[in-house]
A = this chain, B = another copy of it.
């Protein structure tokens, strides 16, 4: 299986590619990982200018040689190529998995909105750095290579599901990039925010006209919470229960999804049994 790696947001170091390839060669010998040279480019905040990142993504997505596209890492930027890439994806691109999370949620969401390919919320190559013997980045590989159900988030229940970083989800709200999530279980997670900002984003989620039809919300991890002055005094779970009540949708419990080594795979939509 050939997996093409591109970086629509920020760059990775060549060492990350080497370590991920070495791990994959041992643990997934049928996998051939190809890191696009664009992954290592640096242009200020980004892994190359917008047009270069867009072209790298289109090159791999539209190439029949690659069975799946794996995003190298998150970090702000994938939203800036949506206009350039989404209309240029052809029939080859329409049959692939697109795998990543965090900022890459912009692409996963836009692809899902247009019914292009199979977006998958899952760990990314940069997480080889977790020093967990590849347990974390092994999950997307298990899913891409063998649809191994052990890689899946254990609470997926047959209903269509999606997972998003809350900051990315709320940025898409009110734009044509947000997919129709009617009847979907919505899993959210976030990282490095103070709780007042989490609350403000949950307000937008709970009040969003486009999200009125979701089946329910599950809470992934909220990690590296930044200081709130004064202390917020409420857990993320209490917050989401409160906002789900406001939203009029059920809170469906925790999910093993987020910016941690426990991040599990959530294929967008219904997972075939």
Least Cβ–Cβ distance between A159 and chain B, in angstroms? 23
Known contacts A203-B79, A232-B44, A232-B45: A171-B170 contact under CB 8 Å:
yes
**Contact across chains for A201 and B171 when beta carbons are under 8 A apart:** yes
Q: Mark A180-220, 1 if CB is under 8 A from B, else 0.
A: 00000000000000001101110110011110000000000
CB-based nearest B residue for A196: B76
**Contact across chains for A174 and B76 when beta carbons are under 8 A apart:** no
A164 is an interface residue with CB less than 8 A from chain B: no
Least Cβ–Cβ distance between A102 and chain B, in angstroms? 12
**Contact across chains for A174 and B171 when beta carbons are under 8 A apart:** no
Number of copies: 2
Known contacts A196-B45, A233-B44, A246-B83: A207-B175 contact under CB 8 Å:
yes
**Contact across chains for A76 and B207 when beta carbons are under 8 A apart:** no
A92 is an interface residue with CB less than 8 A from chain B: no
**Contact across chains for B45 and A228 when beta carbons are under 8 A apart:** yes
Contacts of A29 in B (CB 8 A): none
**Contact across chains for B79 and A210 when beta carbons are under 8 A apart:** no
**Contact across chains for B45 and A230 when beta carbons are under 8 A apart:** yes
Which of A200, A228, A234 has the most chain B CB atoms inside 10 A of its CB?
A200
The one of B167, B173, B176, B230 in contact with A44, judged by C-beta atoms closer than 8 angstroms, is B230
The one of B44, B174, B228 in contact with A174, judged by C-beta atoms closer than 8 angstroms, is B174
Could you say which interface size class chain A belongs to?
Answer: 35 or more
**Contact across chains for A175 and B204 when beta carbons are under 8 A apart:** yes
Contacts of A204 in B (CB 8 A): 171-175
* Cα-based distance from A167 to B234 in the complex (angstroms): 23
Q: Mark A51-92, 1 if CB is under 8 A from B, else 0.
A: 000000000000000000000000010011001000000000
A143 is an interface residue with CB less than 8 A from chain B: no
**Contact across chains for A208 and B174 when beta carbons are under 8 A apart:** yes
The one of B80, B209, B230 in contact with A176, judged by C-beta atoms closer than 8 angstroms, is B209
Known contacts A44-B231, A196-B45: A210-B76 contact under CB 8 Å:
no
Contacts of A79 in B (CB 8 A): 200, 203
* Cα-based distance from A175 to B243 in the complex (angstroms): 14
Contacts of A174 in B (CB 8 A): 173-175, 178, 204, 207-210
Enumerate chain A interface residues (CB-CB to B < 8 A). Answer: 42, 44-45, 76, 79-80, 83, 167, 170-178, 196-197, 199-201, 203-204, 207-210, 228, 230-234, 246
